[in-house]
Protein backbone atom coordinates (compact mmCIF):
# COMPACT_ATOMS: atom_id res chain seq x y z
CA UNK A 1 0.00 0.00 0.00
CA UNK A 2 2.84 2.38 0.88
CA UNK A 3 4.40 1.91 -2.59
CA UNK A 4 1.10 2.65 -4.33
CA UNK A 5 0.53 5.80 -2.25
CA UNK A 6 4.09 6.93 -2.98
CA UNK A 7 3.63 6.29 -6.70
CA UNK A 8 0.35 8.22 -6.80
CA UNK A 9 1.83 11.11 -4.83
CA UNK A 10 4.83 11.24 -7.17
CA UNK A 11 2.61 11.18 -10.26
CA UNK A 12 0.43 13.95 -8.86
CA UNK A 13 3.51 16.01 -7.99
CA UNK A 14 4.99 15.49 -11.48
CA UNK A 15 1.70 16.45 -13.13
CA UNK A 16 1.57 19.60 -11.01
CA UNK A 17 5.12 20.48 -12.07
CA UNK A 18 4.20 20.01 -15.72
CA UNK A 19 0.97 22.00 -15.56
CA UNK A 20 2.57 24.85 -13.60
CA UNK A 21 5.52 25.22 -15.96
CA UNK A 22 8.09 24.37 -13.29
CA UNK A 23 9.60 21.66 -15.57
CA UNK A 24 10.30 24.28 -18.27
CA UNK A 25 13.72 25.83 -17.61
CA UNK A 26 12.85 28.84 -19.78
CA UNK A 27 9.86 29.66 -17.58
CA UNK A 28 11.93 29.24 -14.41
CA UNK A 29 14.76 31.41 -15.74
CA UNK A 30 12.17 34.04 -16.75
CA UNK A 31 10.95 34.07 -13.15
CA UNK A 32 14.51 34.50 -11.87
CA UNK A 33 15.33 37.30 -14.35
CA UNK A 34 14.31 40.25 -12.19
CA UNK A 35 16.27 42.79 -14.25
CA UNK A 36 15.04 41.57 -17.64
CA UNK A 37 11.76 40.11 -18.85
CA UNK A 38 10.54 38.96 -15.46
CA UNK A 39 7.70 36.41 -15.47
CA UNK A 40 5.99 36.50 -12.04
CA UNK A 41 3.63 33.58 -12.74
CA UNK A 42 5.71 31.05 -10.80
CA UNK A 43 5.30 33.16 -7.66
CA UNK A 44 1.61 32.19 -7.77
CA UNK A 45 2.58 28.53 -8.21
CA UNK A 46 4.83 28.73 -5.15
CA UNK A 47 2.20 30.57 -3.11
CA UNK A 48 -0.35 27.90 -4.05
CA UNK A 49 2.07 25.14 -3.05
CA UNK A 50 2.75 26.75 0.32
CA UNK A 51 -0.99 27.31 0.81
CA UNK A 52 -1.62 23.58 0.34
CA UNK A 53 1.48 22.34 2.22
CA UNK A 54 1.15 24.37 5.43
CA UNK A 55 -2.23 23.03 6.53
CA UNK A 56 -1.28 19.52 5.35
CA UNK A 57 1.93 19.52 7.41
CA UNK A 58 0.07 20.87 10.44
CA UNK A 59 -2.55 18.12 10.12
CA UNK A 60 0.03 15.35 9.67
CA UNK A 61 2.13 16.65 12.56
CA UNK A 62 -0.95 16.52 14.85
CA UNK A 63 -1.78 13.06 13.52
CA UNK A 64 1.72 11.79 14.27
CA UNK A 65 2.00 9.46 11.27
CA UNK A 66 1.68 9.45 7.50
CA UNK A 67 -1.61 8.43 5.91
CA UNK A 68 -0.29 4.92 5.27
CA UNK A 69 0.79 4.63 8.92
CA UNK A 70 4.51 5.14 8.31
CA UNK A 71 6.38 7.11 10.98
CA UNK A 72 7.13 10.75 10.28
CA UNK A 73 10.67 11.95 9.76
CA UNK A 74 10.23 15.72 9.88
CA UNK A 75 13.24 18.00 10.24
CA UNK A 76 14.08 18.99 13.79
CA UNK A 77 17.04 21.35 13.21
CA UNK A 78 16.26 25.02 13.77
CA UNK A 79 19.76 26.47 13.49
CA UNK A 80 21.08 28.29 10.43
CA UNK A 81 24.63 27.03 10.04
CA UNK A 82 27.40 27.00 7.44
CA UNK A 83 26.21 23.72 5.87
CA UNK A 84 22.68 25.04 5.42
CA UNK A 85 23.93 28.28 3.87
CA UNK A 86 26.37 26.48 1.55
CA UNK A 87 23.67 24.04 0.43
CA UNK A 88 21.23 26.89 -0.19
CA UNK A 89 23.82 28.74 -2.26
CA UNK A 90 24.60 25.64 -4.33
CA UNK A 91 20.91 24.92 -4.86
CA UNK A 92 20.22 28.52 -5.90
CA UNK A 93 23.23 28.64 -8.23
CA UNK A 94 22.17 25.42 -9.93
CA UNK A 95 18.59 26.62 -10.24
CA UNK A 96 19.67 29.97 -11.64
CA UNK A 97 22.18 28.56 -14.11
CA UNK A 98 20.20 25.59 -15.40
CA UNK A 99 16.59 26.53 -14.69
CA UNK A 100 16.10 23.18 -12.96
CA UNK A 101 15.80 22.02 -9.40
CA UNK A 102 15.68 18.27 -8.57
CA UNK A 103 11.94 17.54 -8.88
CA UNK A 104 11.32 19.39 -12.15
CA UNK A 105 14.60 18.02 -13.55
CA UNK A 106 13.36 14.46 -13.05
CA UNK A 107 10.06 15.35 -14.74
CA UNK A 108 11.94 16.97 -17.64
CA UNK A 109 14.18 13.91 -17.87
CA UNK A 110 11.07 11.77 -18.18
CA UNK A 111 9.93 14.05 -21.01
CA UNK A 112 13.24 13.42 -22.79
CA UNK A 113 14.71 16.92 -22.45
CA UNK A 114 18.45 16.62 -23.04
CA UNK A 115 19.53 19.44 -20.67
CA UNK A 116 17.74 17.58 -17.88
CA UNK A 117 19.99 14.56 -18.47
CA UNK A 118 23.08 16.69 -17.86
CA UNK A 119 21.53 18.30 -14.77
CA UNK A 120 20.42 14.97 -13.27
CA UNK A 121 23.85 13.42 -13.95
CA UNK A 122 25.56 16.38 -12.24
CA UNK A 123 23.08 16.21 -9.35
CA UNK A 124 23.73 12.47 -8.88
CA UNK A 125 27.50 13.05 -8.99
CA UNK A 126 27.15 15.79 -6.38
CA UNK A 127 25.12 13.51 -4.12
CA UNK A 128 27.72 10.75 -4.44
CA UNK A 129 30.53 13.19 -3.66
CA UNK A 130 28.63 14.44 -0.62
CA UNK A 131 28.09 10.89 0.65
CA UNK A 132 31.78 10.09 0.18
CA UNK A 133 32.75 13.26 2.06
CA UNK A 134 30.30 12.42 4.87
CA UNK A 135 31.82 8.97 5.30
CA UNK A 136 35.26 10.53 5.73
CA UNK A 137 34.11 12.96 8.42
CA UNK A 138 34.99 11.94 11.97
pLDDT of residue 101: 87
What Cα–Cα distance (Å) separates residue 50 from each residue in 31, 34, 39, 63, 99? Answer: 17, 22, 19, 20, 20
pLDDT of residue 99: 87
- What is the pTM for the complete model shown? 0.72
pLDDT of residue 67: 75
**Which of the residues in the chain have pLDDT under 70?**
none
Domain count, the chain: 1
Which residues form the domain of 132?
Answer: 2-136
100 Cβ neighbours under 8 A, 6+ residues apart: 25, 28, 94, 108, 115, 116, 119
Cα separation, 26 vs 32, whole angstroms:
10
pLDDT in tens, 108-119: 998 888 889 999
Amino acid sequence: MRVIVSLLAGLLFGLGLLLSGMADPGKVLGFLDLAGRWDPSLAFVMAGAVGVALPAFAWVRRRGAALCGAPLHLPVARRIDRRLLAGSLLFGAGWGLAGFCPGPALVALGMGLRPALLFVAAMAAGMLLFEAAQRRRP
